[in-house]
Chains A and B, each alone.
Chain A
């Protein structure tokens, strides 16, 4: 690993009643790298995200966010919204925008905490003080940057809920970025996208990694995306880590192929196809 670790996950275990969704999982994600978590459906990928972003309290384990220049944040002890404030942004498998608010408003809400501070809990804002106006101008600039980057400027004032599916997915990423994260967690960003859109997504994610000073943690089924852009891949099966490494290593790992295909003989399929097959077969 070239870059410094941004997130370390140690011995993460999550049980729901008798069901062990994640079993003693440890891995690290590096700053300015894309780390992908893959695995068949039900392997516990989204559960990892939910533990990471405070929607679940892990049964066991330490989740540490290491930010340069400040104290490490112990995520497993924090409430969800504080984790977000500490710099973990995320998107959702089934998109969660603010549908009745405009595209631009979605991006402004993402900068809530900064603006709230500037508005002195609304007092400066109510009085229309300069310090708040300046902060809002900055927020608008940031939103405008992302709208331009994603080609959504033309629909900025439309309701977010009315956008086409692909635009909604990208808007959700933009919203997470406007929140100013150091670690961006994307839950199946390519789901439901067509070929061209997923190529554009690859481009976008690479660019975010290279220019925005963030580490990206990615859950994805689309092997084109995963193999194309990941710097590192963690493979889960039944809540356990079965492989970890750079894409080339994981692609050829027999355990991984087996996990995706089960005990079947067509192991000589290309891993992309194998991945797709495995997904069909193991609902």
Chain B
């Protein structure tokens, strides 16, 4: 029971991170119908920025953790969003309206570029971050197993919930959100109605990248180890989460992320760590067989 609870906590934490990245995939997919393959790299850049900023703050003598945390989050989000914007501008916008595979190949190319760019500029080795937020609560003290909820896990969960709520209200209430939903339904018509489609798409990339940056910062804090290749598998998982939840659906991305995080945590906890990726993809295939549009995706009515 105690062990189960611990895996649940770990799974939800991991799931929050997947969910944050997955939103970037699902929004971009919803609006321009492409798999933004470079999104995992954007998240990786967020993590690198986190390590960089924490190190600099450490050198500058800023030691009050909440201040450092806020500063790092801000800096990482600003720069990572800028990267997200630039990627769309350079690699995807010229290909809008071309066959979708062209954009996909361009995205794969961009992913290689970013990966190797960070490899070249920051080096191939692992970057470690000294624990910044340490400690936690003991949730349950069983004789054979102690369940802990660390502070960083709490931060991740709270931040995820706050960001999700903020995000949902942006989509639901603001002019930008309306423009995004309009572009999602019918880009041509949105353009005719005077919506600046290019700007809306750019902002979608910026928002997705911002969330990925948060995920990157949190991962750097949570695991304390990052490298330039971390974006690939995380991106793959997050995209899986987006599809699992029903691509194009924001709550779906979060739900998919949570589900995936928990499957991985429980599988690693009870069966084998090595095969956790197999379990994750296995779940994906199972869900898609029974619900071809994902858990919360709109069932498609075929228009004939």
Residues of chain A touching chain B, judged by Cβ–Cβ distance below 8 Å, are: 16, 46, 50, 55, 92-93
Contacts and interface: CB of A to CB of B under 8 A. Distances in A.
7 contacts: A16-B301, A46-B304, A50-B304, A55-B302, A55-B304, A92-B304, A93-B304
Nearest to A92: B304
Nearest to A90: B304
A55 B300 CA distance: 12
A55 B301 CA distance: 10
Nearest to A49: B304
Interface string B278-304: 000000000000000000000001101
A19 to B, nearest CB: 11
A84 to B, nearest CB: 13
A153 B8 CA distance: 68
Contacts of B302: 55
A50 B304 CA distance: 8
A16 B301 CA distance: 10
Closest 6 CB pairs of A and B: A55-B304, A50-B304, A55-B302, A92-B304, A16-B301, A46-B304
A93 B303 CA distance: 10
B302 to A, nearest CB: 6
Interface of B: 301-302, 304
A12 B204 CA distance: 46
Contacts of A93: 304
Nearest to A46: B304
Nearest to B302: A55
A279 to B, nearest CB: 21
Nearest to B303: A94
Nearest to B301: A16
A185 to B, nearest CB: 11
Nearest to B304: A55
B304 to A, nearest CB: 5
B232 to A, nearest CB: 34
A93 B302 CA distance: 14
A83 B190 CA distance: 39
A115 to B, nearest CB: 25
A55 B302 CA distance: 8
A51 to B, nearest CB: 11
A184 B163 CA distance: 56
Contacts of A55: 302, 304
B36 to A, nearest CB: 27
Contacts of A46: 304
A131 B302 CA distance: 39
A12 to B, nearest CB: 17
A50 to B, nearest CB: 6
A3 B15 CA distance: 66
A239 to B, nearest CB: 17
A46 B302 CA distance: 12
Contacts of A16: 301
A199 to B, nearest CB: 28
A118 to B, nearest CB: 30
A92 B301 CA distance: 16
A93 B304 CA distance: 8
A16 B300 CA distance: 12
Contacts of A50: 304
Contacts of B301: 16
B210 to A, nearest CB: 37
A237 to B, nearest CB: 22
A205 to B, nearest CB: 21
B301 to A, nearest CB: 7
Contacts of A92: 304
A57 to B, nearest CB: 12
A59 to B, nearest CB: 14
B74 to A, nearest CB: 46
Nearest to A93: B304
Contacts of B304: 46, 50, 55, 92-93
B184 to A, nearest CB: 22
A276 B303 CA distance: 25
A16 B302 CA distance: 12
B109 to A, nearest CB: 25
A92 B302 CA distance: 13
A47 to B, nearest CB: 10
B295 to A, nearest CB: 19
